[in-house]
Amino acid sequence: MRYLTIFFIVLTLKAFAGPDPEWTTKVGARSFPSATTTVTVTGAAKDGSTLATKAIQTAIDKAAAGGGGVVVFEPGTYLTGSIFLKEGVELRIDKNVELIGSQHFEDYPEIDTRIAGIEMKWPAALLNIIGVKKAAITGDGKVNARGKFCWDKYWAMRKEYDPKGLRWIVDYDAKRVRTLLIQNAEDITVKGLKFIDAGFWTVQVLYSKYVTVDGIIVRNNEDGHGPSTDGVDIDSSSWVLVQNCDIDCNDDDFCLKAGRDWDGLRVNRPTEYVVIRHCTARKGGGLLTIGSETSGGIRHVLATDLTARGTGNGFHIKSATTRGGTVEDIHVRNITMDSVGNAILFTMNWNPAYSYSTLPPGYNPDSIPAHWKTMLHKVEPPEKGIPHFKDIYVSNIKVASAKRAIAAAGLDRSLITGVHIDNTTIHAATAGDISYADHWQLNNFTVTTKDGSTIQVKNSNDIKF
C-alpha cells in the first residue's frame, strides 16, 4: 500500500492553543443540594415487575416538602414511568439499584418541551428535572430505559412514512422517550450513573444553565441498534460542564444544539459557555457534534482531552440552509481518534432528506398537526436561514485511522472563515477537500493517506497550507 504524507506549515507566530478562556472556570453547577435528610422509597416492588412510579414520586415529594433531602432505594430493580425531581432533592441510585423504564407510552405523560429543534408536545422523559433549581441525580447504579419499544415504533413508521415523502416529519411523529431531561433548570448535577438503551436521546440539557454532567456511562447498544440514541445533548443552554463521561450510542455522542429553522429562529436562544473534557466516545455519530440545530447560535465552547474509538465522525459541525445561526469561538484541543469516519467534517447542507420539509400532494395544509405546520413554516427572508461558521480553533489532534481526513463545505453565500488547525496529525484512507472557505491557517499539520491523495481546495480564498 502506498502512503503519501503531506506537511502543511504556515509561517506565522500566532499560537492557537493558548490558555483556556477565562469563562471556562465558571461552568457547571454552582451549588449542590445541601439537605442530608434521607428519604427511602417505600411501598414499591423491587423485582422490576410492578410499576413503582407512584412510590418513587411520593418519596421525592416528601423530601422536597421537608426542605430537601436525599431519596434512596433499597437494593433491587424498580419498574417506573416518568418521575419528576424537585428543588433541593438528590435522587441517589446506588450500585445495587436499577431503574428500568416502562414499555408503555401512557406511563410517560406528554409535556411542553423542545425536541430536535422545535417546541411541541412530547412525552416526558423517564427522569425529569423541569423548572427546578439546585437538584441532583447521583450514584453508581443503573438506569435502563429499555428503549427497544421506541425503536420498533420508529422503524415501523419509517416504512410507512418514507414512501410518502414524509422522512422529514417521522422523527417528530414517533415521539420516542428520552431518558433524562433537564429543562428550564439551574444548578443541576448528574453524576456517576450508567444509562442503558435510551428510547431516544439519553441526556438532554434544554433551556438550562449551570449544569454539571460528570462521570456518566452510556451504553445504548445492549438490546439492539437504537436509532437517534444521542449521548449528551446540550440544547440552548449555557454554563454547562460535561466531564469524565464514556458514551457508546447510535447517534451523536456529545452534541450542541440551538433550535431548528423558523421555530429555532423565533426562540433565538444560544448554546454558549460549554466545556466538555476528559471524555470518551465509542460507537456513535460524532465525538463532538455541533448542530444541525444551529438557529439560536452556538458559541464559546471548549472541548479538550477527548478520545474517539470507532466513532462515525470526530469533530463535526453541521447545519442546513434553513437553520440560520452562527457557530463561532469554538476551541477543540488535545483529541485522539482511532477508526473514525471523517476526522474533521463541516457541512452547511447536511442530510437534505431530513433537513428540508415539503408537504407532499394530497395533504390539506389546514388539517395537519401543529408540529407539521411548525416544520413547514418558511424562513423569511430566506437569507435568515443561511448558517455561518467562523473562528474555529483546532490543536493537538492525533488521528490513528480515519476514512477521510477532512471534508469542509461552506456555501457560496457563507464561507467557513477563520479556521486555525495547529499541531495535528491524521492518518486516513483519503485526504478529502475544502470548499467555500476563507482565511484558514494550518501549522504543523500532517496528513498521511493510503491512496496518495492530497487535500483539494475549491472556491476558497486565503487558505494557507
> CB neighbours of 34 closer than 8 A, spacing ≥ 6?
68, 88
DSSP state letters, 305-343? EEEEES-SEEEEEE--TTT--EEEEEEEEEEEEESEEEE
| pLDDT bucket at 1, cuts 50 / 70 / 90 | very low
- How many C-beta atoms surround the C-beta of residue 2 within 10 A? 7
What tens digit of pLDDT does each residue of 353-373 get? 999 999 999 999 999 999 999
- pLDDT of res. 223: 84
Residue with cell 422529514: 168
Residue 25, pLDDT > 90, answer yes
Q: How far is CA 333 from the centre of its chain?
A: 19
Provide the 8-state DSSP code for 357: -
Mean pLDDT for the chain overall = 95
Buried b (16+ CB within 10 A) or exposed e, 32-47: ebebeeebebeebebe
Residue 4, pLDDT > 80, answer no
- pLDDT of res. 457: 97
Residue 18, pLDDT > 80, answer no
Q: Can you point out the beta strands (E) in 96-163? A: 97-101, 110-115, 118-123, 127-130, 133-138, 142-144
Percent of the chain predicted with pLDDT > 70:
96
Residue with cell 431530513: 354
| pTM, 2 dp | 0.95
Whole-angstrom Cα distance, residue 12 to residue 26?
32
More confident residue, 425 or 14: 425
Whole-angstrom Cα distance, residue 378 to residue 292?
17
Residue 329, pLDDT > 90, answer yes
Helix (H, G, I), strand (E, B) or coil at 40: strand
- pLDDT of res. 44: 96
What tens digit of pLDDT does each residue of 129-145 get? 999 999 999 999 999 99
Whole-angstrom Cα distance, residue 465 to residue 433?
13
Helix (H, G, I), strand (E, B) or coil at 26: helix
- CA neighbours closer than 13 Å in the CB half-sphere of residue 75: 2
- pLDDT of res. 12: 36
Residue 441, pLDDT > 70, answer yes
- pLDDT of res. 433: 98
Query: What domains does the chain contain, in order, with CATH numbers?
Result: 4-32+110-464 (2.160.20.10)
Helices (H) and strands (E) counted in the chain, each on its own, are: 6, 34
Residue 5, pLDDT > 70, answer no
What tens digit of pLDDT does each residue of 192-244 get? 999 999 999 999 999 999 999 999 999 999 887 899 999 999 999 999 999 99
Contact 183, 130 (CB under 8 A): yes
Residue with cell 483539494: 456
What tens digit of pLDDT does each residue of 149-204 get? 999 999 999 999 999 999 999 999 999 999 999 999 999 999 999 999 999 999 99
Contact 385, 357 (CB under 8 A): no
- pLDDT of res. 17: 54
What tens digit of pLDDT does each residue of 389-410 get? 999 999 999 999 999 999 999 9
Contact 389, 329 (CB under 8 A): no
- Closest to 82 (Cα-Cα) out of 180, 188, 218: 180
Residue 11, pLDDT > 90, answer no
- Closest to 231 (Cα-Cα) out of 169, 180, 303: 180
What's the average model confidence in pLDDT over 76-104? 98
Buried b (16+ CB within 10 A) or exposed e, 146-183: bbbbbbebbeebbeebeeeebbbbbbbebbbbbbbbbb
Q: What is the 3-state secondary structure (H, E, C) of 379-417?
A: CCCHHHHCCEEEEEEEEEEEEEEEEEEEEEECECCECEE
Helical axes 148-161 vs 167-174, angle rounded to 10°: 150
What tens digit of pLDDT does each residue of 275-326 get? 999 999 999 999 999 999 999 999 999 999 999 999 999 999 999 999 999 9
